[in-house]
Structure 1
Amino acid sequence: MPDQDETLLLHLNDAIATSRDKDSLFKVVTTKLRLIFPFDLIGISVFDAELKNKRLFLRDYYGTEESDLALPAGNNYFTPIAGSPLEKLVANPQVRQIALSDYLADYPDYEPFVRMQQLLITQLTAVPLRTGGRLIGALFLAARHSPNLTPADERLLEKIGALVAVAVANTLAFEEVARREQERTLQLNINNALLSIKQREPLFRAVAEELSRVVPFEYFGIRVQRAGQEKEFQAFAELLRPAPGAPLEALSLDRDQAEILADKSTIYQQNTELLQTAAIYSGPEFKALAVRYPRLRYVYEHYHTRALLVVPIWQRPDGAAILTLSAARPDAFRPQDLATVVGLVPQIALALENLFAFEQIQELKAQVEQERTYLVNEINSSARFGADSGAFVGNSPALQQTQLRIRQVAPTDTTVLISGETGTGKELVARELHNASPRHARALIKLNCAALPAQLIESELFGHEKGAFTGAVERRIGKFELANGGSIFLDEIGELPLDLQAKLLRVLQEKEFERLGGTRVLRSDARVIAATNRVLADEVAAGRFRADLYYRLNVFPIQLAPLRERREDIEPLLRHFVQRLSKRLGKPSRQVHPADLAALRAYSWPGNIRELEHVLEQAIIVSQGPFLEFAGFAAAPATSGAADATVSGTAPLKTMREQERDHILTALHRTGGRVSGAHGAALLLDINPKTLEARMKKLGIRRTVGVEA
């Protein structure tokens, strides 16, 4: 039937010339073919350029339900030609009739042929598809009965094969154009996301959603190893699609899962194949990886992952980054999917760099804001402190020795332990050390270890994450993190609880710590300056202070002399404070009566310089005549005789314990027995209320004024 054959060829040629849609095109092809060649199943496979791999391009069937056929639908992944019946056709590409039973003898495990035999299909006609002299695929017509093709039929099928080959080539070309257009759209959308989104999770959620329109996956992850992480990769972005069609969600793991998925073994070490080359691992390859690595074994078993697409983003001396996609279907990823993701690597690398920079800027901005707030509070709360405090006024040998020690150690990063009684100026020495050091451009951060409950000191020192404990409604930066690059002054270090002493020791030795409720290891290059009014060696002997921490703190001790050992500095201090306080209080500058000066010199000053300042401030406020009036001051006797007796030394000397006890009792009498609060003895003596209570207990002083224990 030559005319019918020519008509068929013309119809096919017209359909190929006018159709651009794959489904409509091959519907015409199959309909026209069945007019001449009865068949029950038609299929088209295409080959790669090297004739090494094949993929099913089209399949159609007649008279059989798809569920009964149970053959793979047209797909976009390649499988090897070697080991399949198509290797015979590739070796000798010509029209041939195939008895299914013959091929099953050579390929008994080839599942499509097994299913065909179950459906009573006995014969296949194979037609090679060539275009431009190159083999690009094969057309298969399957039937339950032998078609009994004549030589003329075979020649016609060759002509039909040539037309179908053109149609396949055109369709593949259109698909490639569409894929490239899709990739350009993907890159444009990702660029728009990079320009408009600055937060980590929203940015990579947008990137992953756009990528999922081109590449199907259930898991999207980026892991990064940066300098200082000791080869450990951190999850930078992890998103999971809980169900087909559902939006991607941030991966949420319980503690046990997180431990497994952290996988600190070798999966992401610098020498593994996963960091070397972009690749797809599926089927047996992925199973082999799952046997080797706990992380992959976990997702293999719990998420039924069967395919992994891995693309290194960068690998360099300061770290590495890797992108992974995974899916449950072994055939989920195609070579062109890998090429698509590889093409996105420059954009993703830029996004990572920008995010690192942005997050670092945000952290530095937060730190600067914290420092600014801290320093403003320091200025407001320490307005009377600084060069005008009087701690360095005078010329006594003890003061000169202190100044020498400061000059010696200030240029170094050595840890300093300042010891001395309350009111001797320990904080001012710490400030002087910091200001004279190379760290003076950064903040000196202060923490009084006795001013806070034990349960809050750790949060103050190391910070906490949001939700770390009841009341932690936001993340807080700790003092060590705030002092990075500067100095941290730990006042009353002897009051630090034993459990926190161990954590402080770690910071001193390794410069590492974690925020409360956090897992990220932070580093702080802060110089530690500690101060105490206790004898730490005695505290160590009593088991109240760790010996290792004491020796780590006591690298360079500075011992401050009490004011009673600097009596030659009392008069210069008087002049200094009278001038400054009179100006601040808006009072005229008055002289000190010689008798009062003698009494002030003779007094033991258990509160040291701070007590002297407070006594003078009170005198300036109440004085009316030409001299300062010290009425009510226990150290200033009412008569010069008493002063003379004190100065001459005829009166019996009291012990330091008695002097301190008398001084505290005087303060309690003035405050009506009140210890803390705005009108308490602690404020008058300028010491911490808890410290005062401890001293009272030690000296046998009860809260009821004047009644001994």
Structure 2
Amino acid sequence: MQKKKTMPNQDETLLLHINEAIATVRDKHSLFKIVTTKLRLIFPFDLIGINVFDAELKNKRIFLRDYYGEEEVPPAQPGLPNAFSPIAGSPIEQLVADPRVQQLTLLGYMGQYPDYEPFIRMKRLDIVQLTAVPLSTGGHLTGFLLLASRRKPDLSADDEKLLEKIGSLIAVAVANTLAFEEVARREQERTLQLNITNALLSIKRREPLFRAVAEALSQVVSFEYFGIRVQRAGQGPAFQAFAEFSRTGPRAPLAALGPDRDKDEILANEAGIHQQNTALMQAAAIYSGPEFKALAVRYPRLRYVYEHYHTRALLVAPIWQRPDGAAVLTLSAARPDAFRPEDLATVLALTPQIALALENLFAFEQIEELKAQVEQERTYLVDEINTSARFGADSGAFVGSGPALRQVQLRISQVAPTDTTVLISGETGTGKELVARELHNASPRHARALVKLNCAALPASLIESELFGHEKGAFTGAVERRMGKFELANGGTIFLDEIGELPLDLQAKLLRVLQEKEFERLGGTKVLHSDARVIAATNRVLADEVAAGRFRADLYYRLNVFPIELAPLRERREDIEPLLRHFIQRLSKRLGKPPRQVRPADLAALQAYAWPGNIRELEHVLEQAIIVSQGLFLEFGGFAAAPPGLAAGAVSAAGLAPLKTLKEQERDHIMAALQRTGGRVSGAQGAALLLDVNPKTLEARMKKLGIRRTVGVEMH
């Protein structure tokens, strides 16, 4: 490199131009384009580079690098300066040891550093000479200006002094530019924080909130994938995705990665956040180039994205690590130099706000869930009051003092304070629902709802939706999201009546809820948790159902933890008289009738009757008698004439005639009901309503007993 012939005033003009550029131009690249252009007028060179040092003179990085007319060595990408690297072990350490204007031959320099990549590239460009100019401000070395040429320079002592002056000016320019960049970075960071804060205050749903965060972050950090994942204690071993976005190009909009993306996308966007390499995500770091490749060899998930999605850089910023879970933000890109330490610092500066956003989301979602649950409970309880007014403490379930009833009360007192699953068995009308209510009311869960579901009252296609709820659009007619009974009973009790009627496919799903306390709504993917105590009831012998293959053995054993068996009324004859008094007083008041007495003969007949419908049937018989009676005593003529079982029972009590079997009594009772309804089984005027049983249950009993619907015609 040979200095062009200039006059002293030309040197002063050069210094003046450089000084003026430093004072007026703030854009880094515009400033140094002016500086290098002016400098080239006096000192011809083919390559210029500026290295800047940290305050301790231990690390360096390229601040500016320009190649003139050389396409085979591309310039560094604007806005992405290289990260700091150690001075020790590099050619720069010799310059730092002797900070003055120096002229060096490339071959001589390469002899000491033969593998130094920049020197190898310079040699391919036929560079032969280097001129190093120290950059100092306030007497402190801040970097070096390097001028490279294909010709040997001819520099005088005055030329070296001029270069020293130029170096001082460029040092000021570099310092100013770095200061401007830092101010701009901080301003950009403050703007970003403000944008995120505004989003945090105004957006209350996950995807829109984190899309806003990702879009704001993309203004200062270049990436192809953005992910926030959270693991909360007790919610599975793997991280749960709360926000995932990707883009196909530098300016392409962020696209949300939903739960229905294909398997390859799921694997690609795991970005190493998997239970087998969770430790990798516990420290803030940038992994790029060979380091990321080494991690890809070690971790299968990273290897997948390395090979199939050409990921070459990963930025990891933990949001929190604590006993109740962890949260991490990750960015990934295909360029190895995509992320700088400044980028990591920017992301880490935002993690407190992102942590607050997560906590707010959790709180807001919990509030919304609780509001929905309270509203559902309110609606449910209003329905309960309207439809179940005849049940409760005055229903007669615990009227009496016989040994069978005392045993039931003992069992209730033993198990009520616990969360143990209870299976109540007994014939229709023995008061299984009332026992369930007593269990709930005597439990620590009494302040929450007792949620009921009759498994025989709904078609199989609707039971699953009733149990677990459904999302909007899950099936035809699902116009909105609906909470299921298990979700509604969270913290309370769920009573599954006629559990023996539950279809086999739903039995498996119910078993999962009992074992894992978790389920999904129909049409949903979110795993929900329910802390509901389960009480089940059946009028079937479930052990026989298991043997017949109609009921799962594992579900039976899971339900039959604490059995309570209710005796039929025919085995509680000592309780019939107190039950009569109880129902007469309550029903007379409700019907607006005066209380009437029961004749001794009628009492004996009622006590002798087998009561296949149990307490429910007794209540209905008394209600009918109260309605039709006019004198001082209750008239049971209609009852005595219609059910042959009662007449036979009365004769048996008086004349010691043989008693009919229970099957015969039940058959006669159903026949009497069919006679009253003209053979109709279901509907408002049907026998099922009269007997207070499910129509399907009645039809099954009729088939078993050989009874046809047509009155007076029997099957044998």
Provide TM-score, normalisation by structure 2. Answer: 0.90
From 62, 71, 76, the equivalent of 1:72 is 76
Distance 1:264 1:21, change over 3 A: closer
| 1:621-680 CA distance string (max 9 Å, x none) | 444555544454356689x99885343144442111111111111222222222222222
| Cα separation, 2, equivalents of 1:29 and 1:199 | 51
Partner of 2:281: 274
Instruction: Give distance in 2, aligned partners of 1:21 and 1:264.
Output: 37
Q: Give 1:488 deviation, angstroms.
A: 1.9
Q: Residues 267 and 274 of structure 1 are in contact (CA less than 8 Å); yes or no, is this contact kept in structure 2?
A: no
Matches of 1:679 and 1:326, distance apart in 2: 70
**What's the counterpart of residue 401 of structure 2?**
395
> Would you say the 8 A contact 1:636–1:643 is kept in 2?
no
Aligned with residue 540 of structure 1, among 529, 535, 546: 546
Is 1:426 aligned with 2:432? yes
Kept after mapping to 1: 8 A contact 2:268/2:309? no
State the distance in 2 between where 1:266 and 1:305 align.
14
Counterpart contact for 2:230–2:239, Cα < 8 Å: yes
1:170: which partner in 2? 176
Q: One-letter code of the match for 1:234?
A: Q
SS of alignment partner, residue 639 of structure 2 = coil
The answer for the alignment partner of 2:337 in structure 1 is 331
Q: Counterpart amino acid of 1:605?
A: W
Task: Specify the SS of the correspondent of 1:605.
Answer: coil
Gapped regions of structure 1 (runs ≥ 5): none
Tell me if the contact between 1:266 and 1:272 (Cα under 8 Å) persists in the aligned partners. Answer: no
Please state whether the residue corresponding to 2:306 is helix, strand or coil.
helix
Go from structure 1 to structure 2 and tell me whether the alpha carbon gap of 1:642 and 1:168 turns closer, same or farther (over 3 Å shift).
Answer: closer
Alignment of 1:154-553 (within 5 A): 154-229=160-235, 231-252=237-258, 254-257=261-264, 260=267, 267=274, 272-275=279-282, 277-466=283-472, 468=474, 471-518=477-524, 520-553=526-559
Contact 1:268 1:274 in 2 (8 A): no
d(CA) in 2 for partners of 1:433 and 1:635? 39
| Alpha-carbon contact 1:59-1:73 (below 8 Å) kept | no
1:602-641 alignment, distance < 5 Å: 602-624=608-630, 627-630=633-636, 632-633=638-639
* Aligned partner letter, 1:251: L
Q: Provide closer, same or farther for how the CA distance between residues 248 and 123 of structure 1 changes in structure 2, counting only shifts above 3 A.
A: same
Counterpart-to-counterpart distance in 2, 1:134 and 1:580:
101
User: Which stretch shows the higher mean deviation, 138-147 or 174-183?
Assistant: 138-147
Letter in 1 for 2:324: D
Partner residue in 1 for 2:43: 37
Q: 1:254 is aligned with what amino acid?
A: R
1:601 alignment partner in structure 2: 607
Give the letter for the 1:417 counterpart. Answer: L
SS at 1:57's partner residue? strand
* SS across alignment from 1:441: coil
Amino acid corresponding to residue 256 of structure 1 in structure 2: K
Structure 1 match to 2:4: none
Instruction: Label 1:77 to 1:643 Cα distance change in 2 as closer, same or farther (>3 A).
Output: closer
Change (3 A) 1:61 1:141: same
1:577 is the counterpart of 2:583:
yes
In structure 2, relative to structure 1, the CA distance for the partners of 1:258 and 1:23 (3 Å cut) is closer
Equivalent residue number for residue 137 of structure 1? 143
Shift of 1:685: 1.0
Structure 2 residue corresponding to 1:661, chosen from 658, 661, 667: 667
- Alignment partners' CA distance in 1, 2:271 and 2:415: 42
Mapped pair 1:151 → 2:157: yes
Aligned residue identity for 1:379: I
- Distance (Å, rounded) in 2 between the aligned partners of 1:353 and 1:579: 57
Q: For the Cα contact (< 8 Å) 2:239–2:274, is it kept in 1?
A: no
User: How many Å separate the matches in 1 of 2:104 and 2:604?
Assistant: 126
Inter-partner Cα distance in structure 2 for 1:498 and 1:192? 52
Greater Cα offset, 454-463 or 562-571 = 454-463
- In structure 2, the CA distance between the partners of 1:295 and 1:368, relative to structure 1 (3 Å rule), is farther
Question: Is the CA contact (8 Å cut-off) linking 2:642 and 2:672 kept in structure 1?
Answer: no
TM-score, with length taken from structure 1: 0.91
Q: Is the 8 A contact 2:641 2:647 kept in 1?
A: no
Tell me by how many angstroms 1:694 deviates.
1.1
| 1:633 alignment partner, SS class | helix
Secondary structure at the aligned position of 2:364 is classed as: helix
Deviation at 1:14, TM superposition (A): 3.0
Deviates more, 1:594-603 or 1:697-706: 594-603
Query: CA offset at residue 433 of structure 1?
Result: 1.2
Q: Aligned-residue CA RMSD in angstroms? A: 3.1
Q: In the TM superposition, what is the alpha-carbon distance from 1:427 to its structure 2 partner?
A: 0.4
Q: Distance in 1 between matches of 2:174 and 2:463?
A: 74
SS at 1:329 equivalent: coil
Code of the aligned partner of 2:242? F
Question: 2 CA distance for matches of 1:643 and 1:348?
Answer: 78
**SS, match of residue 327 in structure 2:** strand
Deviation of 1:551 (Å): 3.3
Query: Structure 2: which amino acid aligns with 1:574?
Result: L
Aligned equivalents of 2:593, 2:269: Cα separation in 1: 69
SS in 1 for 2:496: strand
Listed one character per residue, the Cα deviations across residues 361-411 of structure 1 (whole Å, up to 9, x for unaligned) are 222222222222222222222111112322222333322332232223222
Check 1:637–1:467 CA distance in 2 against 1; reply closer, same or farther (3 A cut).
Answer: closer
- Do the aligned residues in 1 keep the contact of 2:193 with 2:350 (CA within 8 Å)? yes
* Cα distance in 2 between the residues matched to 1:236 and 1:641: 71
Separation of aligned partners in 2, 1:490 and 1:92: 88
Distance 2:94 2:649 in 1: 123
Distance in 2 between residues matched to 1:642 and 1:221, nearest whole Å: 78
Change (3 A) 1:670 1:336: same
**Residue 589 of structure 2 is aligned to residue 554 of structure 1:** no
Aligned AA (1:178): A
1:387 match: secondary structure: coil
**67, 82, 95: which is aligned to 1:89?**
95
Between the aligned partners of 1:364 and 1:311, the Cα distance in structure 2 is 32
- Is the Cα–Cα contact under 8 Å of residues 600 and 635 in structure 1 kept in the other structure? no
AA matched with 1:573:
L
Percent sequence identity over aligned pairs = 80
CA contact (8 A) 1:44 1:56 kept: yes
3-state SS, counterpart of residue 389 of structure 1: coil
- 1:5 and 2:11 aligned: yes
Q: CA shift at 1:698, angstroms?
A: 0.8
8 Å CA contact 2:272–2:302 kept in 1: the answer is no
Kept in 1: contact 2:205–2:361 (CA 8 A): yes
Q: Report the alpha carbon displacement of residue 467 of structure 1 after superposing the two structures with TM.
A: 5.2
Q: CA deviation at 1:428?
A: 0.2
Number of residue pairs the alignment of both structures matches: 705
The structural deviation recorded for 1:349 is 1.8
